[in-house]
Amino acid sequence: MYSIIDVETTGGKFNEEGITEIAVYKFDGINIIDQFISLVNPEIPIQPFVQQLTGITDKMLINAPKFYQIAKRILEITEKTVLVAHNSSFDHRMLKIEFDRLGFDFIIPQLCTVKLSKKLVPNMESYKLGNLVKSLGIPISNRHRASGDALATVELFKLLLVKDIEKEIFNKLIINESVKKENKWVNLVKDLKNETGIYYFHDSKGQIIYIGKSKSIKNRVNQHLTGNSNKSLKIRLELSDISHEHTGSELVALLKENKEIKIHQPKFNILLKRTIKKFGLEICIDINNFKFLRISHYQDSKDFIETYSSLKIANKKLSFLNNKYNLENNKSEESNCKINDLIKDHSFQYPNMLIIDKGRSIEEKSVILIKNKKYVGYGYFTLNYQINNIEILESLITNSKTIEEPEFLIINFLKKHKIEKTINIDKSV
DSSP assignments along 253-280, one per residue: HHHHHHHHHHHH--TT--TTT-----EE
Instruction: Using CA atoms of 399, 405, 407, 410 in order, give the dihedral in degrees to the nearest 10.
Output: -90
Which pLDDT tens digit goes with each residue over 47-69?
Answer: 998 998 888 999 999 999 999 99
Strand 110-112 to 82-85 pairing: parallel
- In whole angstroms, give the CA distance from residue 169 to residue 161: 7
Q: What is the 3-state secondary structure (H, E, C) of 71-98?
A: HHHHHHHHCCCEEEECCHHHHHHHHHHH
Which segments within 322-400 are labelled E, that is strand? 353-358, 365-371, 374-381, 398-399
Say what the pLDDT of residue 287 is. 82
Say what the pLDDT of residue 1 is. 86
Nearest to 387 by CA among 350, 419, 355, 362: 355
Q: How confident is the model at residue 178 (pLDDT cuts 50, 70, 90)?
A: very low
pLDDT at position 194 over 60: yes
Q: How confident is the model at residue 182 (pLDDT cuts 50, 70, 90)?
A: very low
Which pLDDT tens digit goes with each residue over 368-406?
Answer: 999 988 899 999 998 888 888 888 888 888 887 677 778
DSSP element (H, E) containing 209: strand 208-214
Q: How confident is the model at residue 179 (pLDDT cuts 50, 70, 90)?
A: very low
More confident residue, 25 or 332: 25
Eight-state DSSP code of residue 154: H
Q: Is the pTM of the predicted complex or chain greater than 0.75?
A: no
Which segments within 272-420 are labelled E, that is strand? 279-285, 291-297, 306-308, 353-358, 365-371, 374-381, 398-399
Average pLDDT value for residue range 199-227: 89
- In whole angstroms, give the CA distance from residue 247 to residue 233: 28
- In whole angstroms, give the CA distance from residue 155 to residue 133: 9
- In whole angstroms, give the CA distance from residue 86 to residue 114: 5
pLDDT at position 318 over 50: yes
